[in-house]
């Protein structure tokens, strides 16, 4: 299979149009189209949708992952033989925001000393990072899913512990006369549309609560939901009383777990969640990917 054809496939997906991809590869538009047609003829299936932006078919998804693997392996082989272009190996990694804000910083510190590789980080919820690995968008991912994606290795990293936290003033505004809190009405904060941590804790509270509030139709009442899509903003919004949210132990201000913080409290009724994380990476390794894996495993020892 021609590696130049595979590179054309990846370029089309990355750039969004055939013309932009041809410019990146420094070839004419007609030459680029011929490479894609030749690859599709070789595999006997249509790989790309001729849309804007360019999309992949199911067969194209599988070939895209192969294309990215072949490009990385070929570039590294050329460098080892002294025939490289002097460029750096691109290590594209899917990582969840809370890891990036805490223990993964040590990986960045180590990567800063590498003169032969660059990191390209893709931010995604840990429940969905494996999808980027399966599609070929990344070569490694931090994920909740322990089942290895085809062609990948899966390694346990550790567990992040999340606590339900709120400003005490927010909870006081939603207390019943008996002093209990109606969590069916307390505003909730989500990091993004795929963030399921708060929903799962609220569902667990409802399952164990006999007096969960219901609306006029008899359905369980849904509290207001805010969305704050940055780690710093999320934690600041919880502190400001916008809503309650699940915060990793490593991001909690001093005194919250001990119950001595002046403004923030943990919420025993909602409890805590433990998220087991795994490192999935291509099984076809390169020296740079092996080095990255070692750095991730070492940094994960500080996870909490």
pLDDT in tens, the chain (304 residues): 898 999 999 999 989 999 999 999 999 999 999 999 999 999 999 999 999 999 899 899 889 888 888 877 777 777 777 655 556 788 999 999 999 999 999 999 999 999 988 999 999 999 999 989 888 888 999 999 999 998 899 999 999 999 999 999 999 999 999 999 999 999 999 999 889 999 999 999 988 775 555 444 445 678 999 999 999 999 999 999 999 999 999 999 999 999 999 999 999 999 999 999 999 999 877 889 999 999 999 999 998 7
User: What pLDDT is recorded for position 89?
Assistant: 82
Question: What contacts 208, CB < 8 A, 6 or more positions away?
Answer: none
Cβ atoms of residues 20 and 7 within 8 Å:
no
- Which residues make beta-bridge pairs with 244? 188
Fold of 1-85: Arc Repressor Mutant, subunit A (1.10.10)
User: What pLDDT is recorded for position 220?
Assistant: 67
Taking the model in full, what pTM does it have?
Answer: 0.80
User: What pLDDT is recorded for position 42?
Assistant: 95
Residue 132, phi then psi, degrees to nearest 5: -70, -35
User: What pLDDT is recorded for position 83?
Assistant: 56
H helices within the chain, ranges in order? Answer: 3-15, 18-25, 29-43, 58-80, 97-101, 105-111, 129-135, 168-172, 197-208, 231-240, 287-299
User: What pLDDT is recorded for position 153?
Assistant: 95
User: What pLDDT is recorded for position 38?
Assistant: 96
CATH class, 161-275 region: alpha beta
SS3 content of the chain, % helix, strand, coil (to 5): 40, 20, 35
Distance CA 219, CA 217 (A): 6
DSSP category for residue 294: H
User: What pLDDT is recorded for position 78?
Assistant: 74
Distance CA 91, CA 60 (A): 21
Distance CA 92, CA 194 (A): 21
User: What pLDDT is recorded for position 65?
Assistant: 83
Is 1-85's fold the same as 161-275's? no
Domain boundaries in the chain? 1-85, 161-275
Pair type for strands 89-95 and 117-123 = parallel
């Amino acid at each position: 299979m021609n590696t130049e054809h595979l590179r054309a496939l990846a370029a089309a997906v990355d750039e969004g149009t055939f013309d932009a991809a041809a410019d990146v590869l420094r070839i004419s538009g007609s030459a680029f189209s011929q490479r894609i047609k030749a690859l599709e003829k070789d595999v006997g299936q249509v790989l790309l949708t001729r849309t804007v932006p360019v999309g992949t078919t199911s067969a194209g998804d599988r070939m895209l992952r192969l294309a990215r693997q072949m490009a990385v392996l070929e570039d590294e082989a050329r460098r080892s033989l002294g025939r490289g272009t002097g460029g750096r190996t691109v290590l594209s990694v899917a990582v969840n925001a809370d890891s990036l804000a805490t223990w993964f910083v040590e990986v960045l510190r180590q990567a800063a000393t590498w003169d032969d590789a660059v990191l390209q980080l893709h931010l995604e919820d840990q429940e969905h990072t494996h999808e980027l690995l399966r599609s070929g968008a990344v070569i490694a991912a931090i994920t909740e899913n322990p089942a290895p994606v085809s062609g990948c290795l899966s390694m346990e990293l550790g567990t992040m512990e999340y606590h339900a936290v709120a400003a005490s003033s927010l909870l006081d505004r939603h207390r019943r006369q008996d002093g209990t809190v109606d969590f069916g009405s307390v505003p909730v904060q989500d990091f993004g549309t795929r963030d399921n941590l708060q929903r799962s804790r609220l569902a667990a509270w409802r399952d164990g609560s006999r007096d969960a509030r219901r609306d006029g139709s008899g359905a369980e009442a849904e509290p207001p939901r805010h969305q704050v899509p940055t780690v710093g903003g999320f934690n600041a919004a919880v502190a400001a009383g916008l809503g309650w949210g699940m915060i990793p132990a490593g991001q909690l201000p001093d005194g919250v777990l001990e119950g001595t913080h002046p403004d923030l409290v943990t919420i025993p009724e909602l409890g805590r969640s433990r998220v087991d994380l795994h490192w999935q990476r291509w099984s076809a390794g390169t020296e740079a990917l092996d080095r990255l894996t070692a750095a991730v495993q070492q940094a994960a020892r500080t996870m909490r």
